[in-house]
Amino acid sequence: MKQLSVAFFVLLLIQNYGIFLHADPNDGFVTTKGMQLMLNGRPYHANGFNAYWMMYVAFDPSQRDKVSTAFHDAKKHGLTIARSWAFSDGGVRPLQSSPGSYNEQMFQGLDFVISEAKKYGIKIVLSLVNNYVDFGGKKQYVDWARGQGQSVTSDDDFFTNSVVKGYYKNNIKTILTRRNSLTGIAYKDDPTIMAWELMNEPRCPSDISGKTIQAWIAEMAPYLKSIDGKHLLEVGLEGFYGVSKQRSNPNTQVGTDFITNNQIPGIDFATVHAYPEQWLPGSSDESQLSFLNGWLNDHIQDAQNILHKPVLIAEFGKSLKLSGIAQRDQLFNTVYSTIYLNARGGGAAVGGLFWQLLAAGIDSFRDGYEVILSENSSTAILIAQESQKLSRI
């Protein structure tokens, strides 16, 4: 009976705020104006999700219904931004099997993801390479260069070696100029894509001064913009500060700086990730929430007062392997309340993307953070409520 009443409440939200099903944010490019995202001349605030697995699953045409189901469920709950991977370098099911060599079937999977996002009126942020070894990442690029006789000793040579940077630039150009086999629209001309992301969570532990990643962003941002001047661009940062404000970090220095990295021309908005349980292991839920409040508010204030750019909470979550539903819902509510209260007052916070939305039937992608909207009723209510509130701003 309780599950039935919860499901009825979600249905009531959807019926009362039919905008979830009828608003089509895909009829223009998202732009920026000061601290705001803009769409068709109006400020754009949106609730969203991560679903890194979409291209990988859509590689197999028989599994593409999982992608469609995820977008359908997301739309019903008012979610209008997705973030996903546009990379799979080497390994199993590669998009790029070797430098400059691409797998057409995987590209067609990405074509499908973008076309389905368009169908459901959902904007998409696409990340172009991984910091980590999953799906190849910067290590794969360095390995490719080493195989061609380059003297590279560290995965961080990704940011400095000229051959590696050439591989990455070619990858940028190949993806941005790809013509979707289903829609006929080149990616660089498709307003379904909200933004490109240079790298998922870039880190350069070999140079915590931040100079290496700063120089890399300063080189790659104008290169990407020279090919595609229509879409927004963000770095993919977690939000760690450099030496000027390292006291705000959770005992972590990774060679990035939220302030200086986002001040680079061509970077249109800032991003923040939030995983207090990972960054403060062994701490209480109360301590984690206290940190989370400070972390979010510090970045929002810096986006407003220093960067003068929008900020998107691009990843947040809490693992059900380490806590219960109630604790996760509390974290979601904290993030959502912070975003809404700031956005309502015209601040820099423009939305949040939880990690991660999953469709039923692909259990191999469960990581403890997954939200299956048909299974997680209390979380689904929080998501629908945040979508409704943001849509009214």
Gap between the Cα atoms of 199 and 273, Å rounded? 13
Q: What is the pLDDT of residues 15-34, one digit of tens each?
A: 444 444 344 545 799 999 99
**Token digits for 92?**
């199993």
pLDDT reported for residue 328: 97
At 114, the amino acid letter reads I
pLDDT for residue 291 is more than 80? yes
CA nearest to 364, candidates 150, 7, 166, 92: 92
Cβ distance 54 to 96 under 8 Å?
A: no
Catalytic site residue from 201, 234, 277, 370: 201
Gap between the Cα atoms of 220 and 212, Å rounded? 12
E strand map for the chain: 30-33, 36-39, 42-43, 46-50, 81-85, 96-98, 101-102, 123-127, 193-197, 232-234, 270-274, 311-316, 349-354
The question of whether 219 is a catalytic residue gets the answer no
CA angle 125, 199, 115 (to 5 degrees): 25
Q: What is the pLDDT of residues 204-219, one digit of tens each?
A: 999 999 999 999 999 9
Please, what is the average pLDDT of the chain? 93
- CB atoms < 10 A from the CB of 4, how many? 9
Gap between the Cα atoms of 171 and 88, Å rounded? 11
Q: Is 34 helix (H, G, I), strand (E, B) or coil?
A: coil
Q: What is the pLDDT of residues 193-204, one digit of tens each?
A: 999 999 999 999
Beta bridge partners of 125: 83, 195
**Burial zone of 33 (CB within 10 Å; 0-12 exposed, 13-18 middle, 19+ buried):** exposed
Question: 61 vs 247, which has greater pLDDT?
Answer: 61
Instruction: Measure Cα distances from 135 to 202, 217, 220, 259, 268 in Å.
Output: 15, 21, 21, 29, 26
pLDDT reported for residue 251: 81
Gap between the Cα atoms of 352 and 316, Å rounded? 8
Q: What is the pLDDT of residues 76-127, one digit of tens each?
A: 999 999 999 999 999 999 999 999 999 999 999 999 999 999 999 999 999 9
Q: What is the pLDDT of residues 270-280, one digit of tens each?
A: 999 999 999 99
pLDDT reported for residue 6: 45
**Token digits for 244?**
């000027």
pLDDT cut 90: percent of the chain above it: 90
pLDDT reported for residue 20: 43
The question of whether 201 is a catalytic residue gets the answer yes
For residues 127-155, give the mean pLDDT. 98
Q: What is the pLDDT of residues 307-362, one digit of tens each?
A: 999 999 999 999 999 899 999 999 999 999 999 999 999 999 999 999 999 999 99
pLDDT for residue 254 is more than 90? yes
Catalytic site residue from 277, 315, 370, 386: 315
pLDDT reported for residue 12: 45
pLDDT tier at 243, thresholds 50, 70, 90: confident
State which H helix or E strand residue 356 sits in: none
